Amino acid sequence: MTQTLLFRSRFSCLAILMGTLCVFATGGKAQEKSAGREIRATQALEPQVNLEGRIQVSPNLIPAAPGALPVFRLSAQKPPEEFLRQTLRGLGVEANRAEPLSKLPQLAGKEPAGAEEFVGIQNRGHLGAYWSMKSGDVEVFPDLVNQKPEKFSGEAAPQFQRAAGLAKEIFSRGDILAKDATQFTIGEPLPLLGQTAERNPGGQGVTDSARLLYLTYVPVRRTAAGRPVYGPGSRALLAVGNDGSIQGFLRRWKTATPSGEVKEARSSLQVRSAILQHLEPFSRVAQVSVLSVEIAYFDDNVERLSPVYRVTARVHYLPKPTPGTNAVKQLADDDFIVRYIPIGAETLPGLTPQVGPSPANPEGPRGVVPAPGVVPAPGDPTVGRYVVRNDDSNWVADANEFWNGVTSWGGGGLFSNAQYYWAHPFEFTSSEASYVNSVQVALNEVHGNWWFFTTYQNWGDGVDIDSIPPSQGYGSANGGHLDYWILHSCEVVP
C-alpha cells in the first residue's frame, strides 16, 4: 500500500496518514483501493517474468469484449447549494458569505482565468468550500486542525457504521447524485489516522502514541452497463467527524445518458499487441508483468463515459551499475501501474498524460543555497518539489499536478515555487538546510519502504529517515522552515 503523508515536520510531530495505492493511473494520479485487492489476489497466480526484461502478459488475461458496448454522454448537474449551505452552517460558517472566488481578498487584482464560474466561501481565513456554476463540481474542505481525534478501535469502529449510514442517506438524494443510466454503491469507510512520534532521550529510538482517528471518509463507487467506472470524473465522497457531523464533501459527478455504442473489432492478440505497445517504455529498464486486464469505463469528467481496457501491471526495476549512483540493500517497493486502452476508438480525451516541465538539477551537496525558482514575496509560503530520477514520467506529472492544484484560481500569487529539483539524498541529509528544510511545504515523489525512500528508481541513492540525527531534524525546532512534508510514496510510514 502507498501512504500519502501530510507530515507536520518536527520529529515530535503529528503525522496524518491518507491511505492510497502505489498505482499510477494515466495522467499521474494514484488511487483506487479496489485495485489493491485485485493486485494481491492476482500475485499468487503471477507468471514468472522473463529475465531479459521483456513484458509478460498472458493472452488468457485479456477478456473477450461483448458484441457492443454503450457510450454515455455526460451532462453537468447543478451545484447542491442548499445542501452546501446546511453543511457549512453545521461547521459554523456563515453560508450567506459565499461569493465568486474572483472576489476573495487574497485574489484581489490577480483576476485568475475562469475564477468567475466558481463560488467559494472562507472558513477561518482559508477556502472552506467551492462549487462550479458551470460543471457542478463541489468540494468542502475538512478543517483538519480543529478535529477532535479519538482512539482508533479498528475496522469495527462505531464511527464507521455511523459514517456509512450518513453517506447512504446523503448520496440517495436526487440533488446530490441524480438518477441516470448508471448505478452506484456506497464504498467501505476509510479512516484518516494520526499518530505522534517522539524521539527518546539521547536520540535512541522513537516512542509512538496510540493511533488516533480524525475523520472517516466514505467513497461512492459507480458502474455503467455493469462495469466499474474510473477516471477524473465519477468521484464522490463524504468526510464524517467523530461526532457524526459532515466535515468534508466531494462531488465530481455528471449525469450519464446513453449515446450510441462501440464495437471491438480487434482480436485478443491485437489487443495484447496494444498493451505491449503501451508498456514497452517500462521494459527498457525493468521487468514488467501484467496482473489483470478488465473491461471498464473511463469518465473524462467533460464529455463522456467510454469503454476501455483497464490494464494493471507490476514493474520491477533491474539495478545496474550507474555512475554516481549507490545501490542500496533495502529496495523500495515495485511499481504497480494502470493504463487505459480505448475500445472501439483510437484516442479518448483525458487518457494522455500531461507531463509538464521537468525538474532542474540541484547545485550540489556542498551547502550552497540553490537559486530559488522565484523570489518569495513577503508572507508567501514557499514550495519545494523533489522527484525520483530516471523513472516513469508520471512522477513528474504528479509533481506538476500538485503545483497546478496549488496555483488554481490564482493561488500562484499566494505561493512561491522556490525549488523544483530531481531528488538526491543530500537534499534530505547533509544539505537539508539548503533544500527540504528551506521551504515551508515540501513534496516528495519517490519510491518508499519502511522509514526509507530511494531517489534513483527504486534501488539507488536511498534515504534512511531513522538515520537522520536530531541535530539535522526539520522544522523550526531545528532552525529550519519546513512546516509540511508530503510524501507521495509507498509504505514510508508502515
The reported pLDDT for the residue numbered 363 is: 80
pLDDT at 473 over 50: yes
Point out the domain boundary residue: 282, 309, 342: 342
The reported pLDDT for the residue numbered 206 is: 74
pLDDT at 2 over 90: no
Domain identity same for 7 and 56 = no
Domain identity same for 175 and 155 = yes
Burial class of residue 482 in the structure, from the number of CB atoms within 10 Å of its CB (0-12 exposed, 13-18 middle, 19+ buried): buried
Q: Does a structural domain hold residue 31?
A: no
Domain identity same for 149 and 290 = no
> pLDDT band for position 253 (50/70/90)?
very high
Q: Does a structural domain hold residue 436?
A: yes
Distance between start and end Cα atoms, the chain:
9
The reported pLDDT for the residue numbered 102 is: 74
Length of the chain: 494
Q: Does a structural domain hold residue 33?
A: no
**Count of CB atoms situated within 10 Å of the CB of 431:** 24
Q: Does a structural domain hold residue 38?
A: no
Lowest mean pLDDT among 14-23, 95-104, 236-245, 484-493: 14-23
As a whole number of angstroms, the distance between CA 168 and CA 218 comes to 9
Rg (CA), the chain: 23
The reported pLDDT for the residue numbered 34 is: 34
Domain identity same for 51 and 81 = no
The stretch 427-437 carries a mean pLDDT of 91
> pLDDT band for position 96 (50/70/90)?
low
pLDDT at 47 over 80: no
Cβ–Cβ under 8 Å, residues 203 and 211:
no
Q: Which of 122, 163, 128 is nearest to 143 (CA)?
A: 128
Give me the residues paired with residue 183 across strands. Answer: 223
The stretch 381-400 carries a mean pLDDT of 93
Cell readout for 424 is: 538526491
Q: Does a structural domain hold residue 407?
A: yes
As a whole number of angstroms, the distance between CA 254 and CA 73 comes to 9
pLDDT at 169 over 50: yes
> pLDDT band for position 487 (50/70/90)?
very high
pLDDT at 101 over 70: yes
Domain identity same for 236 and 272 = no
The reported pLDDT for the residue numbered 377 is: 65
Judged by DSSP in three states, 301 sits in coil
As a whole number of angstroms, the distance between CA 202 and CA 65 comes to 63
The reported pLDDT for the residue numbered 284 is: 82
Q: Which of 434, 439, 438, 432 is nearest to 465 (CA)?
A: 432
**Count of CB atoms situated within 10 Å of the CB of 127:** 16
> pLDDT band for position 494 (50/70/90)?
confident
The reported pLDDT for the residue numbered 16 is: 32
Cell readout for 470 is: 536530531
Q: Does a structural domain hold residue 34?
A: no
Domain identity same for 10 and 50 = no
pLDDT at 381 over 90: no
The reported pLDDT for the residue numbered 374 is: 54
Query: Between 395 and 123, where is the model more confident?
Result: 395
Domain identity same for 481 and 393 = yes
As a whole number of angstroms, the distance between CA 493 and CA 486 comes to 12
- Percent of the chain residues topping a pLDDT of 70: 81
Q: Which of 114, 165, 104, 154 is nearest to 137 (CA)?
A: 114
pLDDT at 106 over 70: no
- Letter for the amino acid at 306? S
pLDDT at 324 over 60: yes
> pLDDT band for position 11 (50/70/90)?
very low
pLDDT at 5 over 80: no
The stretch 287-300 carries a mean pLDDT of 95
Cβ–Cβ under 8 Å, residues 20 and 489:
no
Distances (CA, A) of 84 to 98, 136, 221, 242: 10, 12, 22, 20
Q: Does a structural domain hold residue 32?
A: no
The stretch 460-484 carries a mean pLDDT of 87
Query: Between 47 and 411, where is the model more confident?
Result: 411
Judged by DSSP in three states, 411 sits in helix
The reported pLDDT for the residue numbered 258 is: 97
As a whole number of angstroms, the distance between CA 438 and CA 420 comes to 13
The reported pLDDT for the residue numbered 353 is: 66
Q: Which of 51-55, 351-355, 431-435, 472-476 has the highest mean pLDDT?
A: 431-435
Point out the domain boundary residue: 218, 253, 288: 253
Domain identity same for 398 and 429 = yes
pLDDT at 480 over 50: yes
Domain identity same for 323 and 217 = no
As a whole number of angstroms, the distance between CA 197 and CA 9 comes to 11
**Parallel, antiparallel or unpaired: strands 416-422 and 447-449:** unpaired
3-state SS, 10-61, equals CCCEEEEEEEECCEEECCCECCCHHHHHHHHHHHCCCCCCCCCCCEECCHHH
Give percent helix, percent strand, percent coil of the chain, each to the nearest 5. Answer: 20, 35, 40
> pLDDT band for position 48 (50/70/90)?
very low
Can you list the alpha helix ranges (DSSP code H) found in 288-437?
Answer: 393-407
Point out the domain boundary residue: 289, 308, 342: 342
Q: Which of 292, 355, 349, 253 is nearest to 27 (CA)?
A: 355
Tally the domains of the chain.
3
pLDDT at 306 over 80: yes
The stretch 438-446 carries a mean pLDDT of 95
Tell me what the pLDDT averaged over the chain comes to.
Answer: 82
User: What domain range is 64 assigned to?
Assistant: 46-68+260-342
Domain identity same for 385 and 437 = yes
pLDDT at 126 over 90: no
The reported pLDDT for the residue numbered 61 is: 93
Domain identity same for 149 and 221 = yes
Cell readout for 299 is: 469518465
Q: Does a structural domain hold residue 59?
A: yes
Domain identity same for 174 and 91 = yes
